[in-house]
């Protein structure tokens, strides 16, 4: 399968170390192929994805939302996803 677009996102996990809460950020990629969208933990076929939207939080940060038949999935991103969304809309 040929990659159409990628969008980096941040996966945040909480851990307790020495009785203190720590947050770990790990960069992942959301990958758009011609018939599926793949994240680190899910794979959605294009018919399962109803829409893709973006909510800006600050100048660089925001949430990319995948509206699917399995519910709403949010991806915290520090990079503008407008090109990813545009490529998705071309395929739909």
Token couple for 68: 């699917």
pTM: 0.86
Read off the pLDDT of residues 33-86 as tens digits, 9 standing for 90 and up.
999 999 999 999 999 999 999 999 998 899 999 999 999 999 999 999 999 999
Q: Residue 2's pLDDT is what?
A: 93
Range of the domain at 33: 3-91
For the chain, what is the largest distance between any 2 Cα atoms, rounded to a whole number of angstroms?
Answer: 49
- pLDDT reported for residue 3: 95
> CATH no. for residue 86?
2.30.29.30
Alpha helices by DSSP H, listed for the chain, are 82-91
Domain count across the chain: 1
pLDDT band at 17 (very low <50, low <70, confident <90, very high): confident
Q: From its phi and psi, is residue 71 left (phi > 0), alpha (psi between -120 and 50) or beta?
A: left
Strand partners, 43: 38
């Amino acid at each position: 399968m040929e990659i159409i677009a990628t969008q980096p996102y941040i996966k945040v996990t909480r851990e307790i170390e020495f009785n203190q809460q720590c947050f770990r950020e790990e960069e992942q990629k959301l990958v758009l192929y011609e018939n599926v969208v793949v994240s680190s933990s899910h794979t959605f076929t294009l018919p399962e994805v109803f829409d893709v939207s973006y909510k800006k939080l600050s100048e660089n940060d925001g949430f990319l939302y995948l509206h699917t038949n399995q519910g709403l999935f949010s991806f915290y991103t520090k990079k503008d996803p407008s090109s990813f969304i545009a490529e998705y809309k071309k395929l739909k």
